[in-house]
Structures are given as structure tokens and as C-alpha cells.
């Protein structure tokens, strides 16, 4: 079964063709980052406009790269939540148009479920149940993946998402948006013990809080500036990366133990972070847990992961109709 998948929830317009869930025939991502960079973050109205301009070309390219036409496509899957509402609507309406014109099933995909599904493309042997840590620009969740389509959140951030904390700390350090990758690169030559950063506590056992940590970085940089002192940015980046990676890893491993999982996975844009990948891998090995991490190219937003999750939604009979709506927020366990 060949699914054409569309993703437009934030600042990437993406289309992919995925066969039987796990075989990616093509995947095209048009990023808008260079334009949003000018404003230090994603400007929703600009994102919607660029999606409108790019979506047809990106979809044509995905079909062409797969050596197919729309007549070869069996279903169309689209991210309909969560994300920027105007951006989501572009993808949803485009997908509806294709489904109606070609009389093929329309499948709605939750963006976070898509991120988790990136692991199925990377790892042929991965099947639910397992526990997943989803870390992106908008989300930080510990999720029980009970089946391909039934997921349950057991912990989440109470303020900033991990990626948001990376981007805001990066801005204070003088890096362009999105700064996660720049902190990652800078941390490679830094001394992680040079700066001591706080690890904010939370009420919920498996919840996270990054706002205090982000503020600590901003204050450290501002105070140094006022005193005319130099900040060793590489060491601050290393310290920040290890603090975030340790906070995420400690709670995630504790949750996996509590709920009895020895199969765990990582997903989302921040899953590309080299420090997090290494700290979590080491802990998982020590605990005798099998860890699955998506290949770097599938960590950030893409449509291949949406096509993969779309396939499993289809098998479950989760087919949408022309009343399909887009939602800026949506709980993971809701269809």
C-alpha cells in the first residue's frame, strides 16, 4: 500500500511516499528556517504563506522521486494536530483535495505519533509495546506506546519544551534560531564542569521543567556582560547540554523502570542532540534496556514519519472524512 504523506505543522513543508508503513520511497522537506531566522523564531503568518506556496511543488517532487503519479497512490495521510493552526490548515486542505479528487482514503495523523513512528522506519524490528521519550521544539513527553495507535502520556514538561529551552538558551549565547544544533556543535569542545547550572524540580514524578534552567543561562550571560567578563560559550553549551540530557534521562529511565519497560525509544527534533543520544545510550546499556533512536534525518519534522504512522492508523480503521479539522493542540490519546 502506497501512502502519500503531507506535513505542514510548523516551519517545514514536507511530502513523502511510504510503502506498507516502513519503506520510504521518497521524502522531500522544504525548510523555511532562513526566513524565520531573521525574526529569531517562527512567524506563524509567514509559515502559512510559505506552506501555500511550496506544498504543490514539494508534493510533485515527492511523487517524481518515487517514480509515481497520483494514480499510483492508495491513501493520503496528513498531520492535523498539534501545531500552528494556519500552517496545519494548508496541509489538511491540500490532502482533502487529493483524497476527494482521487477518491482515496484520507488519514489524520497526530504529529507526536508521527515523531515516534520515525523509529519504525529506522528499526525494522521495533514493535509496541515500549516507552518513548519525545523531545521536540513544542513537546517533551514520556509516552507509553501500548500499540501502534494507542498511546498514553505519563509525564510532560510543565513549562518550556526541551527544544524551546535549547533555542532560548542558544539565543542568549548569541546563536541564530533554531539554536539547538549550534549548542550541540559548540558543546563538543567545551568543558561541561566549568559552569554549574540548576536542575529545576517538578511536582509530578515524571514531569519536567526547563524554564528555570533557561533563565539561569540568560542571567549568567547578562551578568557576565555587565561585569565585562568573557563567557566561555563552548563550556556553557556543554554544561547546558549535559544538564538537559541528565534531567531527561533520569526521569525517563525511572519511568521505564516504574512501568516495567526494558524496551525504550527516543523521538523528536532534540533526539538529534549528540549529548542526549550518548547519555541516554549509556544509561540504557547500564540498565540492560534496549534503546531505539531514529536516524538523524528522521528526528526533525518530515513527512515520511507521517506516512508511516498513517499506515498503522489505516490498519486500525482510523479513516477521516471531508469534515476533518486541524487543531493547534490535541491530547495524544484522542483520535
Contact positions vs ligand KG4 (CB under 6 A): 10, 136-138, 163, 166-167, 178-181, 184, 268-270, 272-273, 300-301
CB nearer to ligand KG4: give 26 or 241: 241
Q: How far is the CB of 270 from ligand KG4 (least distance, A)?
A: 4
Nearer Cβ to Zn ion (26/136): 136
Which of 48, 54, 136, 157 forms a contact with Zn ion (CB under 5 A)? 136
Assess contact for 261 and 128: CB atoms under 8 A: no
User: Among residues 112, 116, 109, 161, which one has the least CA distance to residue 292?
Assistant: 116
21 or 268: whose CB is closer to ligand KG4?
A: 268
- The vertex-309 CA angle with 306 and 315, nearest 5°, equals 135
- Of residues 301, 307, 309, 313, which one binds Zn ion by CB under 5 A? 301
Instruction: Quickly tell me which residue has 511523487 as its cell.
Output: 63
Q: Which of the choices ligand KG4, Zn ion, none does residue 163 contact, using the CB cut-off of 5 to 8 A by kind?
A: ligand KG4
What does each C-alpha distance from 300 to 11, 87, 104 come to in angstroms? 11, 17, 28
140-145 β-sheet, strand order: 151-156, 140-145, 130-135, 263-267, 290-292
User: C-beta of 185: minimal distance to ligand KG4 in Å?
Assistant: 8
- For residue 330, give the C-alpha cell: 490535541
> What phi and psi, each to the nearest 5 degrees, are found at residue 252?
-65, -45
- What cell was used for 215? 533563565
Residues facing residue 131 across a β-bridge: 144, 264
Pick between residue 63 and residue 78 the one whose CB is nearest to ligand KG4: 78
294 binds, among Zn ion, ligand KG4, none (CB under 5 to 8 A by kind): none
CB of 223 to ligand KG4, least distance (A): 25
Closest distance of CB 170 from ligand KG4, Å? 7
Residue ranges in contact with Zn ion by CB under 5 A: 136, 301
Amino acid at each position: 500500500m502506497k501512502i502519500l504523506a503531507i506535513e505542514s505543522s510548523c516551519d517545514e513543508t514536507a511530502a513523502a511516499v511510504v510503502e506498507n508503513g516502513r519503506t520510504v520511497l521518497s521524502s522531500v522537506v522544504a525548510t523555511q528556517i532562513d526566513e524565520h531566522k531573521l525574526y529569531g523564531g517562527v512567524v506563524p503568518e509567514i509559515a502559512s504563506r510559505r506552506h501555500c506556496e511550496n506544498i504543490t511543488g514539494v508534493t510533485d517532487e515527492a511523487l517524481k522521486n518515487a517514480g509515481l503519479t497520483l494514480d499510483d497512490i492508495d491513501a493520503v495521510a496528513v498531520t492535523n494536530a498539534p501545531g500552528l493552526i494556519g500552517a496545519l490548515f494548508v496541509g489538511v486542505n491540500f490532502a482533502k483535495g487529493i483524497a476527494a479528487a482521487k477518491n482515496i482514503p484520507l488519514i489524520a495523523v497526530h504529529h507526536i505519533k508521527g515523531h515516534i513512528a520515525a523509529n519504525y522506519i529506522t528499526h525494522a524490528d521495533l514493535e509496541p509495546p515500549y516507552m518513548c521519550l519525545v523531545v521536540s521544539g513544542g513537546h517533551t513527553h514520556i509516552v507509553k506506546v501500548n500499540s501502534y495507535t494507542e498511546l498514553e502520556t505519563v509525564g510532560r514538561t510543565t513549562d518550556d519544551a526541551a527544544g524551546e529551552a535549547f533555542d532560548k538558551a542558544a539565543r542568549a549565547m548569541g546563536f541564530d534560531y533554531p539554536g539547538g544544533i549550534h549548542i550541540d556543535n559548540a558543546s563538543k569542545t567545551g568543558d561541561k564542569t566549568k559552569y554549574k547550572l540548576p536542575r529545576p524540580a517538578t511536582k509530578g514524578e515524571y514531569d519536567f521543567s526547563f524554564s528555570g534552567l533557561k533563565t539561569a543561562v540568560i542571567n549568567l550571560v547578562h551578568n557576565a556582560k555587565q561585569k565585562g567578563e568573557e563567557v566561555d560559550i563552548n563550556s556553557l553549551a556543554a554544561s547546558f547540554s549535559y544538564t538537559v540530557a541528565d534531567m531527561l534521562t533520569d526521569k525517563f529511565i525511572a519511568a521505564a523502570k516504574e512501568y516495567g519497560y526494558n524496551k525504550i525509544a527516543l523521538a523528536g527534533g532534540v533526539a538529534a542532540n549528540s549529548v542526549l543520544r550518548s547519555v541516554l545510550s549509556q544509561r540504557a546499556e547500564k540498565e540492560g534496556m534496549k534503546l531505539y533512536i531514529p536516524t538523524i534525518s528522521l528526528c526533525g519534522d518530515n513527512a515520511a514519519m507521517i506516512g508511516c504512522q498513517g499506515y498503522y492508523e489505516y490498519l486500525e480503521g482510523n479513516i477521516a472524512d471531508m469534515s476533518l479539522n486541524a487543531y493547534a493542540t490535541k491530547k495524544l490519546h484522542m483520535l
